[in-house]
Amino acid sequence: MGYIVFAIILVLTHYGLWKLFVKAGFKGWESLIPIYREYLIAKISGRPGWWIALLLIPIVNIFVFFGLYIDLAKDFGKQRFWEHAATILLPFVVFPLWGNDAKTTYLGMSATPAFKEKYPYKKSLAREWADAIVFAVVAATLIRGFLIEAYMIPTGSMEKSLLVGDFLFVSKLNYGPRVPMTPIAFPFAHHTMPLTGGKAYWDGLQLGYTRLPGFEEIERNDVVVFNYPMEADAPFNRPVDKRENYIKRAVGIPGDTISLREAKLFVNGEPGFEPPHGQMDYYVYTDGTGLNPQRLHDMRIEYYTYAREPYLLFLTEEAYNEVKSWANVTKIIPNIRHRDTAEPGVFPNNALYSWNIDNFGPVVVPKKGWTITLDTLTLPFYERAITVYEGNTLEKRADGYYLNGAKTDSYTFKMDYYWMMGDNRHNSEDARTWGFVPEDHIVGKALFVWLSWDKDGTFLSKIRWNRLFMGIK
């Protein structure tokens, strides 16, 4: 349905442009040729021809593009605020109307001094403010959507690589900006309206997945922000680009084989990435005197206590060595699941695979163009990708499998997938519980920390000064 609506919008917009080009003394068909069309609009409006080169510069080209079409509206005497807003937001409505309106005529090149002298238009104070606000909203939305976006670490799944309270900049350019799939949304809100609640978007118009060219492909062990894939399900049922943003490390890229043995990650049979400041949780026993909560707080050690010992502490190697040296600590045992212990809620959630978060796999990450055989061994891993993420229907009948109503015994993937894990591997909800992340869920690459806020600090120590502008590796 989204493609049909998009096609109608394109047809109406180009029909209106054709009529306006004819009114300006040009051939109607010239309005159908991208780039050349924008060059002619610059000529119609009196802009220098070299402006067309600005369309090759990322981000700048967005402002130049919209600026040219606003100039075109001015060429036909459309000077009011709503007319300029409609040129950007509703060209498929106003271009056909103006093109067929006998009273709308080409007045001349609006970007020239002669035009401005002949057709003066003074903006009111309200119009000046409205223009400024709209420009700021549009500019910020475009920058946030296509260039760079701020993101805050809300949970400890990446400790101690990234800390709760770290504010990051996430680049959309590195992997290529993703064109919004849910284009009608409230500015600056992700999926929920501020204050009032409710949806901040309209999912009646959905566009297909398109990603503009980027500077690089996702490399193994990049820190990546992505949309949480499980929000495709009830109760959220959110569109792809409106699902919650998560941040993890892409320890597996398309085609990789992932496994864990005794909490150690292996990729393609070789030892995988081990976070330099990664944490493990340990059962800590004392001589009965217990641990000092203030000391644990000062060391920023996350811990849990039960009715009686042991304590459960999340420790880096450095913190482990210090806690082990305390006089009243008698024993420290790593909390690693036994290889024969099945753990509920672990991907692929199937009785054939008795895995846990420390002893897991092997599992192969799907790659675009990779073909699998459909059977009882592969479906637990890949059925969700085939049906939910790639939009197919898959049925098991008495005589075999049916894909979109046609009998088949294989499936070829349409997208690349990734295996995302938190660096704090015993306190991270990640791919071990919900599986693969499709490429259309990728938001961007985490670049650097621009601010780090310690909620447990006091006065100036609330800012972690040593983390400011720290690069993310």
Query: Among 130-139, 221-230, 286-295, 344-353, whose mean pLDDT is lowest?
Result: 130-139
- Per-residue pLDDT, averaged over 370-397, amounts to 96
- The contacts found for 351-360 with CB under 8 angstroms, 24 or more apart, are 352/376, 352/377, 352/380, 353/380, 357/260, 357/425, 357/426, 357/432, 357/433, 358/260, 358/262, 358/263, 359/260, 359/261, 359/262, 360/258, 360/259, 360/260, 360/432
Q: Phi and psi at residue 85, in whole multiples of 5°? A: -65, -40
- The full length of the chain comes to 473
pLDDT number for residue 262: 92
Percent of the chain with pLDDT over 90: 48
136 pLDDT band (50/70/90 cuts)? Answer: low
142 pLDDT band (50/70/90 cuts)? Answer: confident
pLDDT number for residue 1: 41
**Do residues 163 and 456 touch, judged by C-beta distance below 8 A?**
no
- CA 14, 17, 20: angle at the middle one, nearest 5? 155
Closest by Cα among 269, 446, 259 to 356: 259
pLDDT number for residue 129: 67
Query: Among 25-34, 104-113, 147-156, 429-438, whose mean pLDDT is lowest?
Result: 147-156
In angstroms, the Cα distances linking 44 to 25, 72, 252, 360 are: 9, 7, 52, 64
Give residue-wise pLDDT tens across range 32-73: 988 899 999 999 999 988 888 887 776 677 778 888 888 899
**Do residues 364 and 402 touch, judged by C-beta distance below 8 A?**
no
pLDDT number for residue 85: 80
- pLDDT of residue 392 exceeding 80, the answer is yes
168: tokens are 């990051």
| Cα–Cα distance for residue pair 91/19, rounded to 1 Å | 13
Could you tell me the pTM of the whole model? 0.77
- pLDDT of residue 6 exceeding 70, the answer is no
pLDDT number for residue 346: 93
2 pLDDT band (50/70/90 cuts)? Answer: very low
Tokens 């109406």, residue? Answer: 12
Question: What sign for the dihedral angle of Cα 210, 216, 221, 224?
Answer: negative
Give residue-wise pLDDT tens across range 153-178: 888 788 888 888 888 989 998 999 99
Give residue-wise pLDDT tens across range 333-366: 998 888 888 889 999 999 889 899 999 989 999 9
